[in-house]
Amino acid sequence: MHRRLLLAAPLLLALAGPGLAQEVRAGDLAITEAWSRAAGQGGTGAGYLTIGNRGGAADRLLSASSPAARSVELHNHIREGDVMRMRQVPAVEIPAGGSVTLRPGGLHLMLIGLTGPLRQGETVPVALTFERAGTVQVNLAIQAAGARGPAHGH
């Protein structure tokens, strides 16, 4: 009985949908609240998530990739005078015992050249590559085009 339940668990989680809070572990890192907004094919999308570091050593997010985009870059919004501009950053520092949240208006993943539309209710796989923790796969839960944060199934 227990064996069947264990085998069915991944299927049950998949059926629960993108509103379910997903935590992905990679060594001392825990990635949560991974989401994106709906966007059209050929355009640009953005990925948001929180990376917590439960370890005693800092780590760095070095790069990301996804089959849903031609390329994925690490970006930040920077104020230049009265204008907010997006700039590519070489890495995102994850402090020991701390966390970093990639969110609208701040650090984020830029999905460039979408190979298909990002549709609300679906998920998009992204591979995150860290200096210490290695590469980890996460799924961005696609929210409405104007969403301000991850859906929590409310």
In terms of C-beta density within 10 A (0-12 exposed, 13-18 middle, 19 or more buried), how is residue 102 classed? buried
On whether residue 46 sits in a domain, the answer given is: yes
Decide if 8 is inside a domain: no
13 is a domain residue:
no
Question: Residue 133: which CATH number?
Answer: 2.60.40.1890
Inside any domain, residue 130: yes
Supply the pLDDT for residue 152: 57
pLDDT digits 0-9 by tens, 81-125: 888 788 999 999 999 999 999 999 999 999 999 999 999 999 999
Query: Does some domain include residue 6?
Result: no
- Residue 58 makes CB contacts below 8 A (sequence gap 6+) with 93, 94, 95, 96
Count of the separate structural domains present in the chain: 1
Give the burial class of 122: count Cβ atoms within 10 A of its Cβ; 0-12 exposed, 13-18 middle, 19 or more buried: middle
Query: Residue 69: inside a domain, yes or no?
Result: yes
| Residues of the chain where predicted confidence (pLDDT) is lower than 50 | 1-20, 153-154
Q: Is residue 150 domain-resident?
A: no
Per-residue pLDDT, 21: 57
In a domain, 58, yes or no: yes
Write down the mean pLDDT value for the chain. Answer: 86
Domain assignment of residue 36, given as a range: 20-143
The whole-number pLDDT of residue 4 equals 45
